[in-house]
Amino acid sequence: MSFDRSIKIAPSILAADFANFGAECAAIEAQGADWVHVDVMDGHFVPNITFGPAMCAAIRPHIKTVMDVHLMIAPVDPYIDAFAEAGADIITAHVEAGPHIHRTLQAIRGAGAKAGVALNPGTPAAAVEDLMDMVDLICVMTVNPGFGGQKFIDMTAKIRALRAMIGDRPIHIEIDGGVDPTTAPLVAAAGADVLVAGSAVFRGGSVSDPAPYGANMRAIRDAI
């Protein structure tokens, strides 16, 4: 997986048809998705339950691009190898999920995946200041994690602070929550390069009528 700072759209399959994940992943990729974002929730770190490594392994053959796995679980460490073996290219853990994020990031890279760290809206940029040489991606949550379709929380000051902290390092800034054609230009201007979008991409489409997925992603790109 090579690094580039161009804008990438990573549809969150949390907004896809749960009975059709493989076909949904193939459809969003065919319609122009750059990455596929997979939201793993445990009903403990966040108040919702989605899916685990077996589902990631099942959809992997349907994804040619980057599989970006966002772990909203605690603890994280016992599950890292399983998600890496399931084919995750990027594994992101929350800085709030435990006391040893440094060890977690080492373990993610040790398992052969790119390492991401996520920050809830209430967590300052300074929480990742000492992790700059350990991470490939910083995910800035613009909603409190757990559900799709929530209202965007403005984190542009945090994104700017992270962009300055990152400097020339090859680290992606990913934005997750409430991204649509109105909010995407704000976060892109602040320095984000990966935009996770669930409802704004899947709205109006289906595997039998996937064209709206493409139109929705073009609307986000055109707005930036």
User: Would you tell me which residues interact with ligand 5SP (CB under 6 A)?
Assistant: 12, 14-15, 37, 39, 70, 143, 145-150, 176-179, 196-200
Residue with the shortest CB distance to ligand 5SP:
198
DSSP at 7: -
- Given 39, 68, 89, 136, which residue is catalytic? 39
Distance of closest approach, residue 153 Cβ to ligand 5SP, in angstroms: 11
Q: Would you call 89 a catalytic residue per the annotation?
A: no
Joined together, the tokens standing for residue 12 give 């969150």
Q: 103 vs 218, which CB is nearer to ligand 5SP?
A: 218
Distance of closest approach, residue 174 Cβ to ligand 5SP, in angstroms: 10
Q: What are phi and psi of 98, to 5 degrees?
A: 180, 175
SS3 content of the chain, % helix, strand, coil (to 5): 40, 20, 40
Distance of closest approach, residue 145 Cβ to ligand 5SP, in angstroms: 4
Q: 7 vs 132, which CB is nearer to ligand 5SP?
A: 7
Amino acid symbol at 44 = H
Q: 52 vs 132, which CB is nearer to ligand 5SP?
A: 52
Distance of closest approach, residue 75 Cβ to ligand 5SP, in angstroms: 18
Nearest to 194, CA basis, from 28, 34, 26: 34
If phi > 0 it is left, if psi is from -120 to 50 it is alpha, else beta; for residue 72 that is beta
Q: What are phi and psi of 66, to 5 degrees?
A: -75, 130
Q: Would you call 39 a catalytic residue per the annotation?
A: yes
- Residue 202 has a CB neighbour count (10 Å cut-off) of 24
**Catalytic residue numbers, as ranges:** 39, 176
